[in-house]
Amino acid sequence: MRRVEQPGCRQSPKILSEFVALCGRAVRLHRRCGRSRSAAAESGVCHAEARAGRKSAAASSAAAAAAAAAAAAAASSSSAGAQDPTDLADKRNEQSEQRKRLLPWQPKVSQRELQAYLHQVREKFLGARAAAAAAGDTDSLAGLPRPIHESVAVLKAHLYISLAELQMKREDEIARYPMTKGRSERVECTPAELLYRAMLPSVPQYMIALLKILLAAAPTSKSKTESINLSMELLQEDLPSSLSNSQRLSTDVNRHKEVIAKSVSGFLLLLLKHLKLSHVYQFEYIAQHLVFANCIPLILKFFNQNIAGYVQNSNRLSGFEFPECLFRPDDFELSEDFASATTGCSWRNMFTCLCLARVLNKLAKAKHSRTMMLVVFKSAPIIKRALRVRHPMLQLYLLKLLKLQTKYLGRQWRKVNMNLMSCIYEKIRHRLTDDWAFANDLDARPWDFQSKECSLRNAVDRFNHRRYGLGDPALPKATNRLTTI
């Protein structure tokens, strides 16, 4: 049977092949798109996993670091207890070396200096009226700049209130409120109080007598012109005249002078120290009478000699020196081996110089009128010569005396003696507001010297009358005016 061919059947294989090719191409495109979507999804998952991994790794590394730090701290704390003693000794040596590089003193500031500083800055930044209104107030800093606040904080950190300031404040309160404050006062019967009460009526005579004895025992004194002649008092009438006896008498006289000078200087120092501890006005009363009896020029006269040779010269009599005199027999006879020679150091003479330097410091400290006496008597070259004695404590008190008068000695003296200025700065305690090297201090005005001395005398007289009934309060107060003389 013949198949009937329809129109277009010959072209169907061609169309079918084209259709198959298009389908294959679509399938390939679909597969390619599927693979791209899966790759994108897989890459997103990988990125998320990578971020999570990084976060977990950071957390784990932080935890590991914390654990390592804790372990190191525990190890250091456990090893600190069992540290080698040599390491501890090395650390202590390093700390001691660091302390040696620092200054050996700690600066101080008094309440009066703090008030003066606040008054000055208030007058500068706020005006004179505001400074006068806030006088005595050390807490309010309103209106002052920030650097002034820091300065005041530094001053308050080094604030030092001495026992003398507390006692003077107490006396001012008693003078202001005598009916309440005065009746509540209780005076302790200490040995210093009993001594002061016994010697109070005749203090001027006692001080003059002590200074006369010290003048007679001074190495530079001349026995013919002094009121006390030690040679005549030590001369024995039954002593045969010979060369050995005259030499022994000369040695004995010099030895007695050294012993007397040591005794008087030590007594004056102990008297001033114990009375200052008892009450500051008791100390000031004794110090005033020592100044009135010319104690300052007398001590300067004592130092105006060859101090280096004085502390080396020793006048000794065998059997009469301490502690040999405690063990000598009753039938002891003086032999010929007495000594008057230059030795390494005579501690008796060194003690005398040290006590006199400390007494002079106590008389002139914080007293501008007495400091001017040191300047008038030209004590700077005398003290400078005494510094040749290589004794640390003696040099310390001599440098303190130079520090008191440095501002009055002039620029040329400071320029020539810069080594002394360096020693003063290095060895002596300073106050933060102390202008010791230059004459810019407000308290160093010459016209205020006598007024402060007179106000101190009035306070001391009021104290003696109130506590001991000495003096007449009806008498006019001491002043420095010529019209009251």
User: What are the C-alpha distances in Å from 295 to residues 122, 213, 257, 357, 380?
Assistant: 42, 12, 18, 12, 17
pLDDT in tens, 118-177: 998 999 999 988 888 888 888 889 889 999 999 999 999 999 999 999 999 999 999 888
Residue 2's pLDDT is: 43
Residue 67's pLDDT is: 52
> Comparing C-alpha atoms, which of 404, 390, 296 is closest to residue 345?
390
Per-residue pLDDT band for 71 (boundaries 50, 70, 90) equals low
Q: Comparing 47 with 429, which gets the higher pLDDT?
A: 429
Is residue 28's pLDDT more than 80?
Answer: no
Residue 301 near residue 220 (C-beta atoms within 8 A):
yes
Q: Tokens 């784990």 map to which residue?
A: 60
Residue 180's pLDDT is: 83
Burial (CB count within 10 angstroms: exposed 0-12, middle 13-18, buried 19+), residue 146: exposed
For 356-397, give the DSSP string.
HHHHHHHHHTT-HHHHHHHHHTTHHHHHHHHTTS--HHHHHH
Is residue 179's pLDDT more than 90?
Answer: no
Residue 79's pLDDT is: 47
Q: Comparing 215 with 84, which gets the higher pLDDT?
A: 215
Is residue 386's pLDDT more than 60?
Answer: yes
Residue 458's pLDDT is: 93
Per-residue pLDDT band for 366 (boundaries 50, 70, 90) equals confident
User: Of the ranges 175-184, 211-220, 228-237, which is most confident?
Assistant: 211-220
Residue 48's pLDDT is: 46
Question: What per-residue string of b and e applies to 104-143 under the rule 16 or more CB within 10 Å gives b?
Answer: eeeebbbeebbeebbbebbeeeeeeeebeebeeeeeebee
pLDDT in tens, 397-419: 999 999 999 988 888 999 999 99
312's tokens: 């080396």
Q: Is the pTM of this model over 0.95?
A: no
Output helix, strand, coil percentages for the chain, rounded to the nearest 5.
70, 0, 30
Per-residue pLDDT band for 478 (boundaries 50, 70, 90) equals very low
Is residue 208's pLDDT more than 60?
Answer: yes
Residue 98's pLDDT is: 66
pLDDT in tens, 296-347: 999 999 999 999 889 988 777 766 666 666 666 665 555 555 554 455 688 8
- Mean pLDDT of the 76-94 span: 61
- Mean pLDDT of the 241-248 span: 64
- Distance, in Å, from the CA atom of 11 to the CA atom of 48, rounded to the nearest integer, reads 55
Q: Comparing 459 with 20, which gets the higher pLDDT?
A: 459
User: What are the C-alpha distances in Å from 311 to residues 250, 286, 315, 320, 349?
Assistant: 18, 29, 11, 19, 5
Of all residues in the chain, the percent with pLDDT exceeding 70 is 65
- Distance, in Å, from the CA atom of 252 to the CA atom of 258, rounded to the nearest integer, reads 10
Residue 347 near residue 262 (C-beta atoms within 8 A):
no
DSSP 11: G
Q: Comparing 447 with 347, which gets the higher pLDDT?
A: 347
Is residue 359's pLDDT more than 70?
Answer: yes
Residue 222's pLDDT is: 62
Q: Hey, where are the domains in the chain?
A: 111-161, 193-232+242-364
Is residue 50's pLDDT more than 50?
Answer: no
- Distance, in Å, from the CA atom of 464 to the CA atom of 440, rounded to the nearest integer, reads 36
The crossing angle, in degrees rounded to 10, of helices 392-405 and 368-376 is 100
DSSP 478: P
Mean pLDDT of the chain: 77
Per-residue pLDDT band for 75 (boundaries 50, 70, 90) equals very low
